[in-house]
Structure 1
Amino acid sequence: MARLLVVGGFLAAIFWIYSVVDCALQPATRHRGVSKGVWVAIVLLIPVLGGILWFVLGRSRPGQSPRGDLYVPLDDDPTHLRRISEAEQDRRIRQLEEELARLDQEGDAPEAGTGTGERS
């Protein structure tokens, strides 16, 4: 019985340390609900339960926005759009327009070595 308590305590300590490190190392954009500092405090002050709350409620999964929605592309993510400057947005738009124009030109030109299939 005492061994079981020691092993359980050891596993709880490992989980608690892992939760604290994971919470502290995640970028602030991956924290749901409250700010990063509050999550770190919750995980530190409520050892095992705080870690469980962090993994269930606080940590957004890969492919999810911090709000918990399904994946939001960067062009539609308001937090990402606020971070990038207008000059960067304009540069990206020009780059995409040039790429589309190039693709349109490539699509209009017939490929070398291919015929229309008609014979005279």
Structure 2
Amino acid sequence: MLRILPPLLLLALWIWAFIDCLTTPEQEVKHMPKVIWVIVVLLFPLVGSIAWLAIGKRRDGLASARSASRSAGRQVAPDDNPEFLASLKKDQRDRDAELLKQWEADLRRREEELRDKGDEGNPDKR
């Protein structure tokens, strides 16, 4: 078991670094073009993977990456989009207002029916 563990860890590191290198946007790559980094990681699994993870990628923080992606015109998840949430609230208010109008009209109609039935049974009101 101990003989298999180091090669498995090396393979996992290599795959992780390779996928990370491929999926990293070009503007976040440091020191060399992205294509060169991919070649280095492929040809030198241990050294290339460690070098990529240590110095190949800009790591300014998650907040700046999020703001950059939003300013680049990427879509925002519906839960984070205030315009979308406001439109949902407006749609719900419109549906509620329409339902209220229907209930009020139905209530008026029923009251008139009851009034008419009461007038038919009482001859003094004619």
Tell me the TM-score normalized by structure 1.
0.49
In the superposition, the TM-score normalised over structure 2's length comes to: 0.47
| Larger gyration radius, structure 1 or structure 2 | 2
